[in-house]
Structure 1
């Protein structure tokens, strides 16, 4: 992190974290913060390690449920905190409400709503004069209004407060919306309020940074190699690249005014953000924004490219004032790729150390344990085996290295097919000859 970017305090800060944010917990080990983590059943069963040190974990059935969360806190006499924080979208309103109940700093509920509810978000930004896709609300996707007609030639249909492109559909006819309605009803999809957005052409960019005292203290720009929804629909691994403030200055000049105006309109005072934008070669259109870090390896590649740790700042900006950060970006191109899950039972895979030993790889993470059984599933942007980041001198070389490392990793996976034959078991040396 850039020197001098954070002010200091005389005593330990006390943070309540709603759901474990493992990267943030790793990043704040060097800071004087006492953390109490509310961890629900799903977090416990996933079992990612929580760093030891000044961290207390309290178990509750569902940390996103205000009733469960408050009962747990009162049961343990844990009521005194300086700030309440959540990284996962569905837990953000819980953190906002608990902040008010406990008298601690947190993103206010109304602001959380503007970042979570994409219909409210686009309404507010359109009124502020920011270009957004035309849109309309479907209150209950399972029960479409009589005579419903798709209002746009092409559109994206998605939950109004969804995440990670789950249950997100690209449609071009009214009949497709009715099919989605029937499927959601048949599958008892929990999300029922949807938003329909006119499809926007252009490259998909993203902006990430930190706001403190109502001012953007740091912001970076990046882009997807292939637009995110396209990659998910095609079941191709998501890839992301950092844009350089000098080499890509024109991109920063066109995007950053929209980023600043959008954040001001949505009312973020203290927090990190991840914003997505579309650029058609002449103008920027706002897509959506979350008051949290980006998913995937984006924060890792920003930390490597700019020396700015958004994982640490996502917590610290709720506890302390953050000054303007004068980052010095590395030369060259930094890009990342998902390592997709393989259908079947995962028996073995290259380790993080193996990945880091590959030329040009500067960061890597593995998320799933050996023995995981993966069945076919719908596309989204969080289902992945791992991710890695590379740094080279050019876009072409970075793209090539992402291809080569991905191919090497896939070649060295050992996966038992879901319907393995005896011959396949013998080939994997699981049985004697």
Structure 2
């Protein structure tokens, strides 16, 4: 495995870093100010559209897609260091049209969508004109086992009828969110992993109702948000089914592999920025007549943070390399391992940085608290740690049987 970056990637790293320094970081405060101004939080701050236009003009757009027809044509290994740079800011992924859940939904449409579905939904998503959500998790079942889901997708002539309730449909609060990919049970008598389907449901379809927005540790994540949605006898054309009935789990496996590792790539960037802020802070502060940077415990925090970031990055790159060379299925153990490692690593580094900042660390004056809240959700999103550990152990035991 060779993790040295090609000249193409190095050039993109340079351009992306410069764009972050010149455009994204200086506008983080502006974004929040505009978000808090009238007429309300559930709208797009104008600065976001300005930054998106600049990113598109700079050729830093849809970098996540390996298909050159639609994106930059980068491999997972090539995209990893770029995704890491974007992860340093909570608002950056959207600037480059590389934010979840749109990335995963676009990948689904690229791989499994019909030409009609691509024309109607993929093209405007690629252009950053609309946004989307992914409705899989349900409030009344243990979602760590997706076969539990109760939402029904039933054929009725030329239509499908959807009944059920979903929550944590991230992005559904955004006024630009026009389409949901909904997963539900369509073939209850089929084999366990062929009972479910995915279907496209426009959010303006009659009887689709957003019941509430769900804050995360008090953060509403407006205008993106996380919604609880009710589908009450919702009817959509049969042509909205993705790939075919019973293909839900096959699609999910294709979707979640890249999505999981993208989260991990971004978390490396989160941790890097936290460590950078911590190092600057401890050089500036001198309680009891001695700079924090000279205290042994602080140096231990810094050293451990650097060690843990490098370990997580190497495992992320290995997983990306394997996805590119042997495929997501063969790389599933590496993907599961990094999905456990990266969020826990980022939380440890963030916690140290918050402690070094003191009271300022839990304030909104610095990005640490918001990044901590976001990173903590990633020990649950796309499967909790415990499920991934169980899968890793199962594969390890099988290898030694």
Which structure shows the bigger proportion of residues in strand conformation? 1
Q: TM-score surpassing 0.5?
A: no
**What TM-score do you get using the length of structure 1 for normalisation?**
0.28
**What TM-score do you get using the length of structure 2 for normalisation?**
0.29
